[in-house]
A = this chain, B = another copy of it.
């Protein structure tokens, strides 16, 4: 089984054997983090970028009043801070939401790829563009959708993203995030996140218990969420 990163890239364009080799050679040491651990500190200037191999990770920002907002969610195969390669200074923290396994790539190696492997560089660029596309969708979700629709949208997105890296089984997947974390993703209070999840359950589109989500009615779920997967860039084509 290829690494989830290769699965993700190969979903969007052909990654040659040679390019795969370059990528895997770029991987340095592996790190493990416990759920709740801070992986990259807000304001830091990392010299490496991180690739998630197992677990779920969030990009988070803590506000003055102590509240937290999670601005991105990551599944296996995602880069956690590829943007740090060029942005240099982190404007948010990166936090493990479950136990995680992570691989490290030196920025020097990334720079070398940009100097010698144009197509692979474009695919890494694409990786960050998909990040951005997801961000925009979240902005739309947060700005104009009801709490219940937001939950539905998140479930749709997670299902599709996890399916690409073979972390779904049929119409089900495990999603071991507490409702406290969910609330920080959706920009809601814990109480209201809970009630919104309940309402979505009552709709009959999903069942969700003990970190296990089953999509009982995909059509209904998509309808509630107004979900259109275009923003996830799922087409295989030359880039």
Contact = CB atoms under 8 A, between A and B. Distances in A.
A30 to B, nearest CB: 26
Nearest to A139: B71
A136 interface: yes
Interface string A126-139: 10111111011111
A71 B137 CA distance: 8
A2 interface: no
A231 B91 contact: yes
Nearest to A112: B118
A38 interface: no
Interface string A175-195: 000000000101100000000
Contacts of A63: 140, 144-145, 226
Interface stretch (A19-27, A81-89, A196-204): A81-89
Interface in A149-171: none
Contact of A114 (B122, B145, B231): B122
Contacts of A186: 143
A230 B128 contact: no
11 contacts: A63-B144, A86-B126, A87-B130, A88-B233, A115-B118, A128-B129, A128-B132, A135-B136, A139-B142, A142-B142, A143-B184
